A = this chain, B = another copy of it.
Amino acid sequence: MKKKRVSLKDIADKVGVSTALVSYVLNGQEKEKRVGAEVVIRIRKALEEMNYKPNFIARSLRYGTTKTIGLIVTDIANPFFSSMARHIEDEAYKSGYTVIIGSSDENCDKSDLLVETLLNRQVDGFIIVPAEGCEDCLSHLIEDKMPVVMVDRYVPGLVSNHVVLDNYTASYNATLHLLNKGYKNIGLVAYKSNLIHMRERVRGYEEAMMFKGLEKQTWIKYIRYNKLKTDMNKAIEVIGSKEGNNIDAVIFTTNTLSLAGLYEIHGLGIKVPEELAIIGFDGNEAFDFFYSPLTYVKQPVDEMGKEAVRILLDQMNGSKKISHVNLTSQLVIRDSC
């Protein structure tokens, strides 16, 4: 079967000393532990020759930490999350941490199961994109003093760390941009969800409309996460029809909504921006190929990932400080509005 890896014991036997000495040398403690100079050399040589590599599992058991971070996103296949994951991995690797990823599909049960699985695997901390209804599971985690950083959204009332976009301002500014361009009947397409990031994006829109005295003109369509296509189809059809209240601009509050929305708009042959102006959240390089490249709210996904890791590392090192990071977005203006 598999060739056995060399263990500390193998080295110790070869050199003719106990494992303790080898361990000391390995961890650079040969000075404090007063290992004989000549023995140090022989041990070093043996380690080299036998190509010794420490067994992380044994170390983990001994130390009670695994140098592993659990990352739970809604879907790793979603470009927004996969690029965030990439940044998280890079940052974590720098500090010797490894990342285990799971996808919850916005499903609380799946998320809880993932947390459970990762806990059993003794991860040292979590970076979580919380799904709806996960409050309990998360609060238990935090009560048990497990380091947790929430990203993209957070659970209001839960005293814990998070790194999110300033969604309110992002949405407010996007709406304002449309208003300043002269659009009045601005609609918003959001996921049907109580999650804070959605609510904030809705609120930013509403308050911008209110600010201009257009609260009567607000038009919000809520899409069910698992009925994306059908719900979006209906939504866009309404916009294209007479009942659409002459909607002349629409904001999509996530990249998946933008994608699904553009499909329908494309399908109905609605002209952008002449008949309908558009702003999306989270760019997608390919949206530039839409006949009218998309104006979108650009999230600093790299910072979000890296900052989350930094805070998590800090927590794992014993910091008791609670961090709430609100990142600012950038409105990338293209042709669609």
Contact check, A53 vs B89: say whether CB atoms are below 8 A apart.
Answer: no
Interchain nearest-CB distance for A109 vs B (Å): 14
Q: Does A330 contact B (CB under 8 A)?
A: no
> Which of A98, A122, A146 has the most B CB atoms < 10 Å from its CB?
A98
Contact present for A77 and B86 (CB under 8 Å): yes
Give chain B residues whose Cβ lies under 8 Å from the Cβ of A77.
79, 82-83, 85-86
Determine which of B53, B262, B285 lies in contact with A259 in the assembled complex, contact meaning CB atoms within 8 Å: B285
Interface centre among A116, A121, A259, A284 (most CB of B within 10 A): A121
Which residues of the partner chain B approach A55 to less than 8 Å between Cβ atoms?
Answer: 61, 120, 122
Contact indicator A144/B291 (Cβ below 8 Å) = no
CB under 8 Å from chain B, chain A span 16-57:
53-57
User: Is A76's CB within 8 Å of the partner chain B?
Assistant: yes
State which of A99-107, A155-163, A181-189, A206-214 sits at the interface with chain B: A99-107
The reply to whether the CB of A60 lies closer than 8 angstroms to some CB of chain B is: yes
Counting CB contacts under 8 A, is A66 at the interface? yes
Residues of chain A in range 278-318 having any CB-CB distance to chain B below 8 Å: 284-291, 318
The answer to whether B75 and A86 touch across the interface, beta carbons within 8 angstroms, is yes
Cβ of A242 under 8 Å from chain B = no
Contact call B120/A53, Cβ cutoff below 8 A:
yes
A234 touches B (CB below 8 Å)? no
Contact call B99/A56, Cβ cutoff below 8 A: no
Bits for A121-142, please: 1 = Cβ < 8 Å to B, else 0: 1100000000000000000000
Q: Give complex CA distance A322, B163 in Å.
A: 46
Which residues of chain B are near A318, meaning CB under 8 Å? 1
Q: Which of A179-237 contact B (CB under 8 A)?
A: none
Instruction: For the complex formed, measure the closest distance between the CB of A286 and the CB atoms of chain B, giving whole angstroms.
Output: 3
Cα–Cα distance between A55 and B286 once the two chains are bound (Å): 45
Contact B66 A76 (CB under 8 A): no
Which residue from chain B places its CB closest to the CB of A284 in the assembled complex? B286
- Cβ of A3: which chain B residues have Cβ within 8 Å of it? 144-145
In the complex, A79→B259 CA distance in Å? 14
Q: Quick check: B119 and A53 within 8 Å, CB to CB?
A: yes
Q: Which 10 A-B pairs have the closest CB atoms?
A: A286-B286, A82-B82, A289-B290, A77-B86, A77-B83, A2-B145, A56-B121, A3-B144, A57-B60, A289-B289
